[in-house]
Structure formats: C-alpha cells, structure tokens
Amino acid sequence: MPRATVPRVTGEDTSTARPDGRVERGNRTRRLVLDRTVEIASVEGLEALSVGRLASDLGLSKSGVFALFGSKEEMQLATVREAGRVFAERVIRPVSAEPAGVLRVWRLCEAWLEYSRGRVFPGGCFFYEVIAEFDARSGPVHDAVVRAQRDWSAYVERTVAEAREVGELRADVDAPQLSFELIALMEAANGVAVLRGEETAYRRARVGIAARLRTVAADPLRVPQVS
C-alpha cells in the first residue's frame, strides 16, 4: 500500500504549479533509453548494453545516459523491469478480465505465442534470451531474471488451478505439471521460430497446447480445434 504524501509548505500556491521541465525531460530520456536497451538485450543479451553504444545509437551524451542509471548493473536491472512491464501489458493484461476456466488458460497461451510471433521484442521472448545468458551466474541481475521467470510460471500455474477449481479442468489435474508442459511448448516455439526465421513452430505449439488441454478438460469441446 502506498504511503500518504504530505504536501510541502513553501509559501506558494502549488495547485497551479507546473511540473519541473527537467524531470519530465529526464523521464522521456529514460523511456527512450529503455526502449533501446530491451531491443538490444532481446537479441544480444544484457551484457551487450553499454553507455557508449546507447549514447551513439540515440544521439545522447555518455554522461547523460550514465546519469540515468549510475552503473551497468543498474541499467541491466532497469531493462529487466521494463521488459517485465511490457510483457505484462502484452500477455497478462489482455486476458486478466477473462473468467476463470479452460478458455482463459488457452487465451493466455495464445497471448504469449502472439507476443513472441509478433516480435514485441526483436529477438522474440526477451526472457528466453536473458535466462540463457544468466542461468548459471549469480548476483542481482540473475536474481531479477529468476524472479521474473518464477512470477510467470506461478501466474500460469494459478490460472490452471483456477480453471480446475471452477470445474473446467479435471479434479485430478496437477497444476504445476500442466503449467510446466504448456510453458515448455511456448518456449520451444519461440526458440525454433527465432532460430529458423519461420512461423511453423507457433502452429505446432498451438496444436500441442490445444491437444493437451483437451486431455484434461472436463468438457473437451470447450477447447478450440486447431489444425
């Protein structure tokens, strides 16, 4: 819960005061830089980020870019957070109002596949790239990537569990196991499609996901037919 804000007493009427232009310019610059960092990292990894490269790409000063973050590690962490924000907007939010059930599970998987297929990030799934880069490392960036992956896995698992609770999946469904299988199909599609530059893998993933959901659905006809 956010803490209440206590207004400062300055002797001037703050109700009509204009926002600090420097703060707004700084925010715009930070958004511009983060747009670029997530693009680079999704293709080349977080280690490819550098103040010099970003300054050159965006026509900014090195000192200005450095001042936004203070260190390369903080730049990497900010990039992971920004990628998580974009991911939530493109994958989680579109299905958040859907009622619990097998169709919500299906549409969540569809949203993820479209996020990858539509190249929201140029390299496909941002987290697929950086997990491979940081999986055997340690430190704050590794921990941030682990949290993002765990949050996503937990969300899929919760969506599956809710579908089971409302009776649209069989009562004996193992939610963690089913979630693992669905995520594996999605990630395999992303990896193959990015590597080969073709979209056939997304169709195969959709066929596999639909088939798997039909095997555990209380009413298999609730799951769309995919060919």
Domains and CATH numbers, the chain: 71-222 (1.10.357.10)
Beta-carbon-side half-sphere exposure of residue 98 (alpha carbons within 13 Å): 20
| Range from 18-32, 41-55, 199-213 carrying the lowest mean pLDDT | 18-32
- Condensed to tens digits (0 to 9), the pLDDT of residues 118-150 reads 999 999 999 999 999 999 999 999 999 999 999
Residues 105, 157: Cα–Cα separation, whole Å: 9
If you average pLDDT over residues 98-118, what whole number do you get? 97
If you average pLDDT over residues 149-166, what whole number do you get? 98
In this predicted structure, the answer to whether residue 15 has a pLDDT above a threshold of 60 is no
Q: How far is CA 155 from CA 86, 95, 179, 188, in A?
A: 16, 12, 9, 19
Q: Where are the alpha helices (DSSP H) in 166-174?
A: none
Q: How far is CA 214 from CA 57, 105, 106, in A?
A: 48, 12, 10
The pTM for the full model equals: 0.86
Q: How far is CA 144 from CA 81, 136, 217, in A?
A: 8, 13, 34
If you average pLDDT over residues 47-66, what whole number do you get? 95
If you average pLDDT over residues 2-9, what whole number do you get? 35
| Mean of per-residue pLDDT scores for the chain | 91
Closest to 222 measured CA to CA, from 207, 210, 206: 210
pLDDT-derived band of residue 26, with 50, 70 and 90 as boundaries?
A: confident
Burial 89-112 (b: 16+ CB within 10 A, else e): ebbbeebeeeebbbbbbbbbbbeb
If you average pLDDT over residues 49-57, what whole number do you get? 96
- Looking at the DSSP assignment, which residues form a beta bridge with residue 217? 169
Q: In terms of pLDDT, which residue wins out, 190 or 11?
A: 190
If you average pLDDT over residues 9-23, what whole number do you get? 52
Residue 18: per-residue pLDDT: 56
Angle at 56 between CA 51 and CA 59, to 5 degrees: 110
Residue 27: per-residue pLDDT: 82
Structural tokens at position 83: 């990628």
Residue 227: per-residue pLDDT: 79
Residue 12: per-residue pLDDT: 41
Residue 20: per-residue pLDDT: 65
Residue 24: per-residue pLDDT: 77
